[in-house]
């Protein structure tokens, strides 16, 4: 409250004491004290007289508009002509109350605070919208970059158009399924078990008995981690269908995981094991599928992928930290 008259300030206090809850009022009289109060920013509303000893109310309004534009400003003055009142509104004043009609003051204060809250909520919503748009743009760019990389790298390692189409569609489907799961969780976290189920679902048609999933503890993955696990499992499953355990009806794949909380950062170990498939030999060259598995775990999960081309069946162990 910028007011130089002790009597007027007491009258204002009496009228505001009728509000629930009763407001805490800090009174300042001079320009220097007013500037200090503005810098402190520890207030929700400004009440100001129009006529002051060392400066005027319009200057006080301009100072407030520059320093704290979001804070409502109400003139409480004994004399305030119509032209001055209109001019004050143009410069950002919220309202004005004549000292002869202080009975209006509590209602004017409550209305000003309500409008300020509404504006603050609007600003917050607008800010959140801008953040979401920027985040969406960032994710779309990352997704498109990954798609373009998959298109190029899959083309290089494919021997025919048919193979290229089949492998590329499988990889894109894994991405789409992971994104759909994350969308259902509002792009926050996804359970590892659900990621495994979604990724394996397209391959279970006619092979349901060949998959065994032994769920470990509940593991939550962030969006990057969920997408990485989905891509890795898709590569392993595709390879198993073409060359590994899922190539024969008697072959099986067992997936399990555990969590180690004794480390400084908890570690998750996910095991993929192929059983009763054809004999496995290490590949002669480092294909894109292997590169995708290793890099996905290394860069997106900050972990390690260990591939064991045992004759009894391929084994893949993923070890990565989790919050």
Q: How many domains does the chain have?
A: 2
Buried b (16+ CB within 10 A) or exposed e, 206-244: ebeebbeeeebeebebbbebbbbbbbbbbbbbbbbbebb
219 and 78 within one domain: no
Q: Residue 194 has what pLDDT?
A: 92
Tokens of 298: 């290394």
Q: Residue 275 has what pLDDT?
A: 94
Radius of gyration, alpha carbons of the chain: 34
Q: Residue 213 has what pLDDT?
A: 95
Q: Last residue of some domain: 62, 94, 120?
A: 120
261 and 167 within one domain: yes
130: in domain: no
Parent domain of 41: 6-120
Number of H helices, E strands in the chain: 9, 10
pTM of the full structure: 0.58
Q: Residue 130 has what pLDDT?
A: 86
309 and 171 within one domain: yes
Cβ neighbours of 280 (radius 10 Å):
18
234: in domain: yes
116 and 176 within one domain: no
Q: Last residue of some domain: 69, 98, 120?
A: 120
178 and 264 within one domain: yes
- Per-block average pLDDT, block size 10, for the chain (323 residues)? 93 92 92 92 91 87 92 87 80 90 93 93 88 74 76 83 88 81 74 92 84 94 89 91 88 95 92 90 79 90 93 92 87
Q: 179 vs 139, 225, 229, CA distance in Å?
A: 11, 12, 12
Residue with tokens 């789409």: 176
CATH for 24: 3.40.50.2300
β strands within the chain, DSSP E: 46-48, 73-77, 95-98, 190-191, 211-214, 220-221, 252-260, 267-275, 304-310, 313-321
Around 68, how many Cα atoms within 13 Å sit in the side-chain half-sphere? 20
151: in domain: no
């Amino acid at each position: 409250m910028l007011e130089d008259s002790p009597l007027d300030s007491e009258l204002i206090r009496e009228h505001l004491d009728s509000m629930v809850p009763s407001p805490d009022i800090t009174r300042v009289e001079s320009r220097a004290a007013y500037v200090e109060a503005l810098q402190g920013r520890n207030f929700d509303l400004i009440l100001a007289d129009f006529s002051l000893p060392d400066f005027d109310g319009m200057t006080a309004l301009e100072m407030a508009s520059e320093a704290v534009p979001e804070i409502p400003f109400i003139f409480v003055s004994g004399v305030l002509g119509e032209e001055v009142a209109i001019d004050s509104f143009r410069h950002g004043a919220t309202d004005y109350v004549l000292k002869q009609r202080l009975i209006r003051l509590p209602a004017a204060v409550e209305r000003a605070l309500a409008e300020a809250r509404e504006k603050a909520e609007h600003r917050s919503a607008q800010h959140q919208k801008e953040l979401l748009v920027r985040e969406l743009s960032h994710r779309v760019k990352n997704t498109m970059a990954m798609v373009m990389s998959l298109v190029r790298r899959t083309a290089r390692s494919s021997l025919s158009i048919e193979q290229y189409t089949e492998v590329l569609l499988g990889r894109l489907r894994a991405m789409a399924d992971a994104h759909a799961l994350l969308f259902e969780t509002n792009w926050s976290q996804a359970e590892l078990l659900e990621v495994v189920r979604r990724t394996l679902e397209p391959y279970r048609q006619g092979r349901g008995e060949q998959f065994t999933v032994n769920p470990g503890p509940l593991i939550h993955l962030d969006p990057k981690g969920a997408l990485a696990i989905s891509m890795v499992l898709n590569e392993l499953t595709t390879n198993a269908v073409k060359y590994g355990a899922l190539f024969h009806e008697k072959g099986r794949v067992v997936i399990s995981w555990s969590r180690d909380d004794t480390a400084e950062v908890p570690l998750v170990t996910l095991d993929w094991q192929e059983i009763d498939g054809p004999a496995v030999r290490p590949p002669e060259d480092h294909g894109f599928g292997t590169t995708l598995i290793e890099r996905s775990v290394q860069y997106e999960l900050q972990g390690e992928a260990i591939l064991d081309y045992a004759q009894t069946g391929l084994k893949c162990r993923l070890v990565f930290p989790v919050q």
